[in-house]
Amino acid sequence: MKISVIGCGYLGAVHASSLAKLGHEVVGIDIDQVKVDSLASAHAPFYEPGLPELLAETLAAGTLEFTTDMSRAQGATVHFIAVGTPQQEDSNAADLRFVEAALDAIVPYLTPGDVVVGKSTVPVGTAERLAVQIEAVGAQLAWNPEFLREGYAVKDTISPDRLVYGVRSGDEHSVALLDEVYASVLAQGIPRVITDFATAELVKVAANAFLATKISFINAMAEVAEVTGADVTQLADAIGYDQRIGRRFLNAGLGFGGGCLPKDIRGFMARASELGAGDALNFLGEVDAINLRRRERMVDLCREVLGGTIEGARVAVLGLAFKPDSDDVRDSPALDVAARLAELGADVRATDPQAIETSRRLRPGLNYVDSAREAAKDADVVLVLTEWREYRAIDPSELDSVVSVRAILDGRNCLDPVQWREAGWTYRALGRP
Ligand code: NAD
């Protein structure tokens, strides 16, 4: 099948190359010439494990191409919209300008029978509003939200937990085309939910609201643990054995960030308020607040370990990405804490296995170094803020002779306190004695 994917960022680039891998002929279209040039030469413009290999394979096979020329969408039957929907600068609501611009740009190239498929995360009611423009030219609109996790994006696209199709009642044509797009996914027995636009849009934000709530729940327990001497990691293990609760997403620490969870829960609250159902989501305001308080707490812990003064202290920051296996620093708690400490006068040396360049773009004033060892040189305290495998595996002896003071703050509860304390380090973490 001939497919176009409009918007080739973290979502679209992986979607386009995965569909090419699944046997389709795909054109990826983006307005960013630099990104398009990079993708077209099989260089992923961001870090995503497996993506460079997938790009190389499908570009060489001739089943995938990238362009900035929207007219190249003509002739495709299914057109995925994968452009960004960031938070508006002056409110909590989602900014739909990119989705609207992408639709305006694609409409002239649609032919009757084509299906435009929204993948971007949008406020409920968006598809209903936008469908008019698509239907006016004899094409159909469907909404097919995406649940991929950065770091596992290729696997999640080829083998997702489920597929959700939001379509107009009785629109069997769109369902049949989507089934053809995802034929090899469906052949794995992956469940598919066929529903209306509003439910499809809500499934995505509801899933993210649930995950954010689970993280903030355990971080709220961490706050209580901190004033009682309890250990939140043991608490999480113990409640996680209950299968109704489950241990996943119960890791207390610096909290969530990235290009999805924070803006999605805020956008969800804003949309619910517009619809007169704001009270139903008031709790998400608390979820957001708990999450942001963890960053403040990390700064306080740092001050405490430094004996009350951050100014002038040399602070090593290991980890800047919002999570491991990604270079994404959008709303990253780690980068935020590093920047706050620098603003308070600390001499911060920050590093990350993949996210230095993306961090530099957002926070050009921070001091970046290439390795954990370099960051830790003469440090008064070492902070682990993203749980990259290589930081979890650091042995205290690797840093013993490098640091000025043997003090480590574990912002992700990813280190072994016993190991560090036995090696003579001061070990402190969020939610643990
Ligand atoms: P992104 O910023 O990485 O990518 C968006 C891309 O769209 C950019 O490359 C931009 O240049 C391009 N673009 C903007 N306007 C365009 C236009 N008019 N025509 C063509 N291209 C245009 O964002 P992302 O992380 O890929 O997210 C995209 C959407 O997917 C968002 O709605 C997001 O919430 C959702 N989503 C993202 C993830 C994720 O893990 N990143 C997961 C699920 C859903």
pLDDT, position 125 = 98
Percent of the chain with pLDDT over 90: 100
> Whole-prediction pTM value?
0.96
Reported as a single tens digit per residue, the pLDDT across 259-313 is 999 999 999 999 999 999 999 999 999 999 999 999 999 999 999 999 999 999 9
Q: Which ligand 1 atom is nearest residue 46's CA?
A: 3
Q: How far is the CA of 10 from the centre of ligand 1 (A)?
A: 6
Confidence class of residue 328 from pLDDT cuts 50, 70 and 90? very high
pLDDT at 27: 98
What's the Cα-to-Cα distance from 378 to each of 164, 394, 399, 415, 419, rounded to whole Å? 52, 17, 10, 21, 21
pLDDT of residue 4: 98
Domain 212-429 fold is Rossmann fold (3.40.50)
Per-residue pLDDT, averaged over 320-341, amounts to 97
pLDDT score at 212: 98
Q: What is the pLDDT of residue 309?
A: 97
Ligand 1 centre to CA of 48 (Å) is 15
Q: What percentage of the chain carries pLDDT values higher than 70?
A: 100
Where does residue 319 fall: left (phi above 0), alpha (psi -120 to 50 degrees), or beta otherwise?
A: left
What is the sign, positive or negative, of the torsion defined by CA atoms of 380, 385, 386, 389? positive
CA of 259 to the centre of ligand 1 (A): 9
Contact 116, 11 (CB under 8 A): no
Give distance in angstroms: CA of 311 to centre of ligand 1: 39
Whole-number pLDDT of residue 210? 98
For residue 314, the model assigns a pLDDT of: 98
How do residues 122-176 score in pLDDT, each as one tens digit? 999 999 999 999 999 999 999 999 999 999 999 999 999 999 999 999 999 999 9
In this structure, are residues 284 and 268 in contact, taking their beta carbons and an 8 Å threshold?
A: yes
d(CA 246, CA 240): 4
pLDDT tens-place string over residues 108-132 = 999 999 999 999 999 999 999 999 9
Topology, domain 2-195: Rossmann fold (3.40.50)
pLDDT at residue 357, as a whole number: 97
CA 339 to chain centre: 20
Mutate to test the pocket of ligand 1, among 6, 17, 27, 30 (most ligand atoms within 8 A of CB): 30
Q: Are 230 and 433 in contact (CB under 8 A)?
A: yes
Q: What is the pLDDT of residue 416?
A: 97
What's the pLDDT at 305? 98
- CA-to-CA distance for 7 and 36, rounded, in angstroms? 10
Please report, for the chain, the start and end positions of each structural domain, with discontinuous segments joined by +. Answer: 2-195, 212-429
- The residues annotated with a catalytic role in the active site are 260
Tell me, yes or no, if the two domains 2-195 and 212-429 fold the same way: yes
Identify the pLDDT of residue 397: 97
Q: What is the pLDDT of residue 11?
A: 97
Do 332 and 354 touch, CB atoms closer than 8 A?
no
**Residue 330, pLDDT score:** 97
The mean predicted confidence, pLDDT, of the chain is 98
Residue having the nearest C-alpha atom to atom 1 of ligand 1: 9
Joined together, the tokens standing for residue 85 give 């929907």
The binding-site residues of ligand 1, defined as CB within 6 angstroms of any ligand atom, are: 6-12, 29-32, 35, 82-85, 98, 101-102, 105, 120-121, 146, 148, 150, 259-260
**Maximum distance among all alpha carbons in the chain?**
71
Instruction: Give the model's pLDDT for residue 413.
Output: 98
pLDDT tens digit sequence for 181-192? 999 999 999 999
Q: List pLDDT tens digits, range 201-225.
A: 999 999 999 999 999 999 999 999 9
